[in-house]
Each structure stands twice: as C-alpha cells, then as structure tokens.
C-alpha cells in the first residue's frame, strides 16, 4: 500500500474541528464586524468633535487621534483572529477533500506513487 497524504488521524482532527468550531468561527466574524463598526463610529465622533476649519483637516485630525489609532489596532486584532479561524476551516476542508480523493483512488485500484 502506498503512503497516504492524509492520515486517519488528520481526517479525524479535521472533522472534529469542523464539528466543534462553528461557534468560535461565528464569534470571530462577529467580533471583526463589531470592531469595524466601532472604528467607524469613533472616527465619525472625532470628526464631529473636531474644531478644524475644513472637512479634510477634521478627517485628518480624527484619523491621527489616539482613540482612532486604538480602534484601528483592535480591528486589526479582530481581523487576524477571524482570518486565522477561516484558514483553519479551509485547511480542514482541504484535508477532507484530499482524504476523499485518496479513498476514491484507492477503491479504483490506483495510488499516488
């Protein structure tokens, strides 16, 4: 028998991840969206609070403000967590698809060597 690309253990881990991670993935996405909305609200609030003479200088003042910078950093962290969760889900999907392909090929009497 040829060496398999995906072991039974890898397949089991992938299935377990998909079965148990939906809440985590949904939470990561929701936190990303919340962080984006928060950043936008802070920017708008700062623009309204600014006493700069023109719209462009009010926007610049708001975007240079420490509160806006902090909101941007929070959004970046939320994006990172969301993207990691998505990548893990994609990895699990790829492992399962590869396992299925290997099994179909094995049943057909071929191998990958």
Question: Is the whole model's pTM more than 0.85, yes or no?
Answer: no
pLDDT values of the chain reduced to their tens digit, one per residue, 113 residues: 567 888 989 999 999 999 999 999 999 999 999 999 999 999 999 999 999 999 999 999 999 999 999 999 999 999 999 999 999 999 999 999 999 998 888 888 865 55
For the chain, domain boundaries: 20-100
| Closest to 24 measured CA to CA, from 96, 97, 98, 87 | 87
Distance separating alpha carbons of residues 51 and 54, to the nearest angstrom: 9
Which of 29-62 are b and which e, b meaning 16 or more Cβ less than 10 Å from the residue's Cβ? eebbeebeeebeebbeebbeebeeeeeeebeebb
Q: Could you tell me which of 63, 23, 56 has the C-alpha nearest to residue 39?
A: 63
């Amino acid at each position: 028998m040829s060496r398999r690309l995906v072991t039974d253990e890898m397949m089991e881990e992938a299935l377990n991840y998909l079965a148990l991670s939906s809440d985590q993935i949904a939470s990561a996405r929701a936190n990303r969206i919340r962080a984006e909305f928060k950043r936008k609200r802070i920017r708008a609030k700062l623009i309204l609070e600014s006493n700069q003479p023109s719209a462009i200088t009010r926007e610049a003042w708001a975007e240079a403000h420490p509160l806006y910078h902090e909101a941007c950093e929070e959004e970046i962290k939320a994006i990172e967590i969301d993207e990691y969760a998505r990548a893990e889900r994609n990895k699990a999907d790829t492992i399962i698809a590869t396992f299925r392909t290997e099994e179909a090929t094995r049943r057909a009497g071929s191998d990958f060597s």
